[in-house]
Amino acid sequence: MAEKPTIHKLNLTLSNMDTNVYGDYNLTIALHPSETIERMMVRILAFCYRAAENLTFTRGLSATEEPALWLKHDNGTMLEWIEVGQPSPDRLKKGCSQSVSVKVFSYGRGLDMWWKTNAAAITSLPKVSTHYFDADELQALCELADKTMTLTVTITENIAYVASETKNVAVTLREME
């Protein structure tokens, strides 16, 4: 029998001053058995950076045909295909064919090698924008992870200031170059 995902509950207060999005969100996030806490926290950051009405988490790792998040118009048109990690250029092409734009939030070991190997193919895709998070900053963010979380996230100038009841961390969204 397959392992079931671990369910995390997040009470999120978001102030994204870069996009003028403010709100309180009660999110349920399923952590797939093969998913790391780091990946889950990057999905949360992606949500914060791209927050908009109709932005939703998908079935994630258990649905290979879906991105980590997507933003759909009320009429069903996919506006943004949002990936986390180090997706292949073919996966990003698929996202380009199905949405208006593709956003990538990269992180993790091998990031430099992934970018070196795939940069030409990815940058040739006109709808794709690729960003990354620093490993040390993400490690500090992962310390805030719990099955029940209350986080306040303030984003300004591409820096997410994340506060829990016990700790504050800053995580900068950087462009891949």
Give domain limits for the chain.
6-175
The enclosing H or E element of 137 equals: helix 135-142
Among candidate residues 78, 131, 124, the one with its CA nearest the CA of residue 101: 78
| Percent of the chain predicted with pLDDT > 90 | 85
Task: Answer whether 18's CB lies under 8 Å from 155's CB.
Answer: yes
Task: Give just the sign of the alpha carbon dihedral 15, 19, 23, 28.
Answer: negative
Average pLDDT over residues 25-53: 94
Read off the pTM.
0.94
The overall average pLDDT reported for the chain is: 94
Within a 10 A sphere around the Cβ of 14, how many other Cβ atoms?
19
148 has which bridge partners? 9
Average pLDDT over residues 78-101: 96
At the fourth CATH level, which superfamily is domain 6-175?
Answer: Restriction endonuclease-like alpha-beta roll domain (3.10.640.10)
